Structure 1
Amino acid sequence: MIASWNKSPRHQLGCFLRLDMENTSDTLPNYGDSLQNTSFVVSWVQTIPLVLVTCVTLVANGAILVMFVTTKSFRRCRNIYIASLAMADFLIGCTMPLSIMESVYYPWSPIGVACHIYLIARHSLLYVSLLSILLISIDRWWSINYPFSYRVRQSRRLAISAVTFSWFLSFVLNIPPIVIMTDFQQHNSSKVYNKRCNSPHETHFVYLLVTSVVEYLCPLVALWILNCSIYFRIRNQFHNVRKQISRKNSMSNITGVSGTRKQSDDLVREMMVKQDKKAACSLGMMVIVFTVCWTPHMVVQVINSKCGQCLPEIITNVTFWILVINSAINPFLYGLLNKEYRKVLGRWMHCYSRRRTFRIKEAVMYWNIMPMNGADKMRDNGITYMNAVKEWSS
């Protein structure tokens, strides 16, 4: 032991340093564990809002679809386009869990055929959502600008054909580029878990620019033109109706003759114009939200394809989720702002209490109409029925 110290001072200094590191290694904090805990917390902070968006998308659009299926009065031509939009948004919500896994847990990604199916479903359903909003705008524009032609020519068959064609067109436009072009973009490794399920055309600037103009910019311009036309048309109709009503009121005051029927007709026209105005406002809000949600993602895609993915990954993820949030907002725009949908939703929410109240009132009526001098058997049946209702309602 003593002989081991009869060496060079450098060796002795090394021994002291090694002993000191061995003694202090247990007292130093474990930075690896703290980093793992921090990344775990960050992952959950990112995951919880995305899961909430997914749940809202599925529940809200699912409720719209159930209303359309169960309520017979909803199966009109106009609501067929809304049902198509709700179906597309609902299926987009079904793809959101995979998007969450890909955004939060970066090394994970679907591969092979699963990647193809995921990309085809995501891109096609997003385009169906866009075309459904366009069909709703065209239907509203047609009904306001040409009401007589709309009533004569519009039919369920025409609406179903338009919806079917929009779904077919969306899948036809998105399947060939994804299947034929390059499948994956690798990130500095040949291992399977480092492969990313990205769109194969995201690095082709010319192709992406052309498709963005054709599939996004042209429909967006058409949406704004249609909705501006609807807005100005309704505003002119509203002003004309108000002028006619004020003119007729002034004439009736001068002549002393009251045209009750004409006034009622004018009031009906004013009410119809107000209904069209409310529907146009909800549609306009839908178009504004669509523009705000879609434009950042399309711009980021074009910039990344030009500069070779120069933007940070977080910007791409944020703009993508802003795009997807549009599917969660749509049912609230045409649901909460529509009186018919609010009525059905309120009926669902108060179904249990209304049913219980109806049963109790029925029992009370049955008890009151029983003859006082009748048979004891009817009175016993009434008491039994009242007890059953009390047990059921408690």
Structure 2
Amino acid sequence: MNLITFYNVLQTNFTENDTSCGEQMLSHGNVEKVLIGGVLTVLTLFTICGNLLVVISVCFVKKLKQPSNYLIVSLAVADLSIAVAVMPFVSITDLIGGQWIFGQVFCNVFIAMDVMCCTASIMTLCVISIDRYLGITKPLTYPVRQSGRCMAKIVLSVWLLSASITLPPLFGWAQNVNDDKVCLITQDVGYTIYSTAVAFYIPMSVMLMMYYRIYRAAKVSAAKHTIQGFPKVEDERNSVDCVAAALKFQKEVEECASFSRLLKNDRKNISIFKREQKAAATLGIVVGAFSVCWLPFFLMSTARPFICGVECSCVPLWVERFLLWLGYANSLINPFIYAFFNRDLRTTYRNIFREGYMYVYRITDIIVHTWHTQEH
């Protein structure tokens, strides 16, 4: 075999597993396919179940039907859409090594769904952070303006803006990278800067700003949370003795009234302080999880056109897929974060699980009883 023939054989073997863009397809053994398929299936199913629980809880439990929870439902719907309309196709693509098998037409539809749902999820998180900030800093005026119609308009605006990001590739501004083996969002530099800024960098900046302001408000509140010269709240029982003593001494009556007013103000300050602390903790975890999940992917997406050019991607396929699934994992985390910090949601979850368990138990009991009856 001469050198030219050997080169041709190598080139043929290489291009069998490569796309026209130069992305090398991943080759998985049977054990790897089972492991990858199991992990991705569990991730998808848990994402569906978690977000479905949120939607069911808020829509069917009267106590949770509040305008502020419209945003939680919008977030859950966006994350649920990712799990139902996006994750299964990505899972299949990854199991067969990264090759796109669903055709060029559906590639554009798939990318549009992926971008719209992920952007809606991210932007809803951003709006939730603003909502929490206004609820903490304007507790008297903001809830009055927080009507159902207003929140519905905000949710609609989030989804319309998210959908607008998907339109340019569909109407000719920039074409998605789409051949027989690859389905990749357009690498046009202008569109990449526009889409990543609107879908991620601006929302993330707003979330960080809201978290900082809530954290600062909680810190200032903690510094002011003292009553000098009077007993603490745990000594509230002493007020009973104070009232008894006031029956005899007018001076003690006045002191008792003064103490009661201060005690009432102290309880109010404690309530505000705890609410600010809880909001800061919740938003801190939300922002932290969001950053860990999505920041690596968007940094790669922003840098890719400048490094690889606009025709295709030069990033190793396994790196792309790992960072993409890390971003999708945020859709799994969100419902559990809000349930952890929301007592009403936690209670509703427990009730749903309890009712579901009892239903399954009754059905199983009927089946077993019927089976024993037929045997005898």
Q: TM-score range by the shorter chain?
A: 0.7 to 0.9
1:220 to 204, 207, 224: 204
Q: Percent same amino acid among aligned pairs?
A: 24
Residue 263 in structure 1 maps to residue 263 in structure 2: yes
| Shift in CA distance, 38/68, structure 1 to aligned 2, threshold 3 Å | closer
Q: Which residue of 1 aligns with 2:307?
A: 307
* Cα shift at 1:332: 0.6
* Cα shift at 1:135: 0.9
Residue 125 in structure 1 maps to residue 117 in structure 2: yes
State the one-letter code of the partner of 2:57.
M
Superposed CA offset, 1:232-251 (max 9, x none): 112222332x22x344438x
CA distance in structure 2 between the partners assigned to 1:108 and 1:215 by the alignment: 25
Residue 134 in structure 1 maps to residue 126 in structure 2: yes
Q: Which residue of 1 aligns with 2:21?
A: none
Q: Which residue of 2 aligns with 1:111?
A: 103
Q: How do residues 26-65 of structure 1 correspond to structure 2 at under 5 angstroms?
A: 39-65=29-55
Q: Which residue of 1 aligns with 2:244?
A: none
| Shift in CA distance, 213/352, structure 1 to aligned 2, threshold 3 Å | closer
- Asked if the contact 1:101–1:109 (Cα under 8 Å) also holds between the matched residues in 2, the reply is no
State the one-letter code of the partner of 1:73.
K
| Shift in CA distance, 247/62, structure 1 to aligned 2, threshold 3 Å | farther
CA distance in structure 1 between the partners assigned to 2:321 and 2:110 by the alignment: 16
Residue 197 in structure 1 maps to residue 167 in structure 2: no
- Asked if the contact 1:102–1:109 (Cα under 8 Å) also holds between the matched residues in 2, the reply is yes
CA distance in structure 2 between the partners assigned to 1:246 and 1:198 by the alignment: 64
- Asked if the contact 2:169–2:176 (Cα under 8 Å) also holds between the matched residues in 1, the reply is no
Q: What secondary structure is seen at the aligned counterpart in 1 of 2:140?
A: helix
Residue 69 in structure 1 maps to residue 59 in structure 2: yes
- Asked if the contact 1:227–1:280 (Cα under 8 Å) also holds between the matched residues in 2, the reply is yes
Residue 101 in structure 1 maps to residue 101 in structure 2: no
Superposed CA offset, 1:97-128 (max 9, x none): 00111222133432233222211111001110
Q: Which residue of 1 aligns with 2:143?
A: 151
Residue 185 in structure 1 maps to residue 178 in structure 2: yes
1:249 to 211, 218, 231: 231
Q: Which residue of 2 aligns with 1:321?
A: 325
* Cα shift at 1:353: 8.7
Q: What secondary structure is seen at the aligned counterpart in 2 of 1:76?
A: coil
Residue 345 in structure 1 maps to residue 349 in structure 2: yes
Q: Which residue of 1 aligns with 2:340?
A: 336
Asked which structure has the greater CA Rg, the reply is 1
| Shift in CA distance, 206/353, structure 1 to aligned 2, threshold 3 Å | closer
Q: Which runs of 5+ in 1 are unaligned?
A: 1-36, 187-193, 356-394
| Shift in CA distance, 52/160, structure 1 to aligned 2, threshold 3 Å | same
| Shift in CA distance, 342/178, structure 1 to aligned 2, threshold 3 Å | same
| Shift in CA distance, 266/47, structure 1 to aligned 2, threshold 3 Å | same
- Asked if the contact 1:304–1:311 (Cα under 8 Å) also holds between the matched residues in 2, the reply is yes
The structure 1 segments of at least 4 consecutive aligned residues displaced by more than 6 Å after TM superposition are 352-355
Q: Which residue of 2 aligns with 1:82?
A: 72
Q: What secondary structure is seen at the aligned counterpart in 1 of 2:163?
A: helix
- Asked if the contact 1:109–1:197 (Cα under 8 Å) also holds between the matched residues in 2, the reply is no
State the one-letter code of the partner of 1:196.
V
- Asked if the contact 2:115–2:165 (Cα under 8 Å) also holds between the matched residues in 1, the reply is no
Q: How do residues 5-44 of structure 1 correspond to structure 2 at under 5 angstroms?
A: 39-44=29-34
State the one-letter code of the partner of 2:192.
L
| Shift in CA distance, 274/354, structure 1 to aligned 2, threshold 3 Å | farther
Q: Which residue of 1 aligns with 2:12?
A: none
- Asked if the contact 1:89–1:125 (Cα under 8 Å) also holds between the matched residues in 2, the reply is yes
State the one-letter code of the partner of 1:335.
A
Task: Determine which structure has greater relative contact order: mean sequence separation of CA pairs < 8 Å that are 6+ residues apart, divided by chain length.
Answer: 2
Q: Which residue of 1 aligns with 2:286?
A: 286
CA distance in structure 2 between the partners assigned to 1:100 and 1:307 by the alignment: 27
- Asked if the contact 1:89–1:129 (Cα under 8 Å) also holds between the matched residues in 2, the reply is yes
More deviation, 273-282/158-167: 273-282
- Asked if the contact 2:100–2:183 (Cα under 8 Å) also holds between the matched residues in 1, the reply is no
- Asked if the contact 1:119–1:178 (Cα under 8 Å) also holds between the matched residues in 2, the reply is no
| Shift in CA distance, 151/198, structure 1 to aligned 2, threshold 3 Å | same
Q: Which runs of 5+ in 2 are unaligned?
A: 1-26, 239-250, 360-376
* Cα shift at 1:53: 0.7
CA distance in structure 1 between the partners assigned to 2:319 and 2:177 by the alignment: 20
